[in-house]
Amino acid sequence: MDGEELTAQETALYDRQIRVWGADAQRRLSKAHILVSGMRGTVAEFCKNIVLAGVGSLTLVDDRTVTEEALFSNFLIPPEENLYSGKTLAELCCDSLKDFNPMVHVSVEKGDLSSFDVGFFDKFDVIVVSCCSLAALKLSIFKETINCQLQYPSFEEAVSVPWKALPRKMSKLFFAMRVIEKFEEAEGRNPGAVSISDLPGVLKLKKELCDVHSLCESHIPDTLLRRVVTNTSEFPPVCAVVGGILGQEVIKSISGKRDLLKNFFFFDALDGKGIIEDIASEPNTGR
């Protein structure tokens, strides 16, 4: 790889991981620029992981203020109110992340993703988005495929695959999340802004979507949808698991070491199992 060699300080600091993935991979990491939008608990864990890994820079976008839920799930927020009063989530997380690795440049960008032009995103090697509506995920900046040894469809292409064309053993969580996303979009809700009072409307929409996709309603159990609309808060141990997986995939992407996860990962805290689902834009209709 072209570029500057690691400094003596970097080599000493990252000695152990260099032994694992090599100096070239570490050099790639040290030159990488990461953009993160939405500082939820899972993303906080991810940011901690890549800062410790030694990326070049990390830019945070989240103008929201601290809530009780954020205090519970995001370990980067200091517990004392006098320390976080008047600051945004991005600013608070930025302050904490700088302490993990002073060699990584961590900064904050004010504004919303939709307010930035395409040129802004061109500065980054990886973009991680959380707390994002279905409409925002379909923005053109997220439609590019990643060319490695595998071809990756965009998020919009993957979720547009007819349900009937998906494998019979497809995770029920995939279908449940599509129902919730459609409900939030139809109701003009923010991501995760659902509650048990929405269950009748969610179940009605599930039936409609199953009819449209010619899918048996049993593929999306009512009990699963009830769990999703009831337990909308993040659970710190789950944040650590999913944030770890996300960090692992970004590090693999930047370093060029090993194939990336392709292309959906679901984790169910009820049974502690993680599931990878490969959903192509042109699915194999073989059952």
User: 179-200, pLDDT tens digit by residue?
Assistant: 999 999 999 988 888 999 999 9
pLDDT at 140: 41
Q: Is the pLDDT assigned to residue 219 strictly greater than 70?
A: yes
Question: Which pLDDT band, with edges at 50, 70 and 90, does 215 fall under?
Answer: very high
pLDDT at 133: 67
Q: Is the pLDDT assigned to residue 148 strictly greater than 60?
A: no
pLDDT at 146: 41
Q: HEC string of the chain?
A: CCCCCCCHHHHHHCHHHHHHHCHHHHHHHHCCEEEEECCCHHHHHHHHHHHHHCCCEEEEECCCCCCHHHHHHCCCCCCCHHHHCCCCHHHHHHHHHHHHCCCCEEEECCCCHHHCCHHHHCCCCEEEECCCCHHHHCCHHHCCCCECCCECCCHHHHHCCCHHHCCCCCCHHHHHHHHHHHHHHHHCCCCCCCCHHHHHHHHHHHHHHHHHHCCCHHHCCHHHHHHHHHCCCCCHHHHHHHHHHHHHHHHHHHHCCCCCCCCEEEEECCCCEEEEECCCCCCCCCC
**pLDDT tens, position by position, 19-28:** 999 999 999 9
Q: Is the pLDDT assigned to residue 287 strictly greater than 60?
A: no
Residues 63-91 have a mean pLDDT of 88
Domains of the chain: 8-152+233-264 (3.40.50.720)
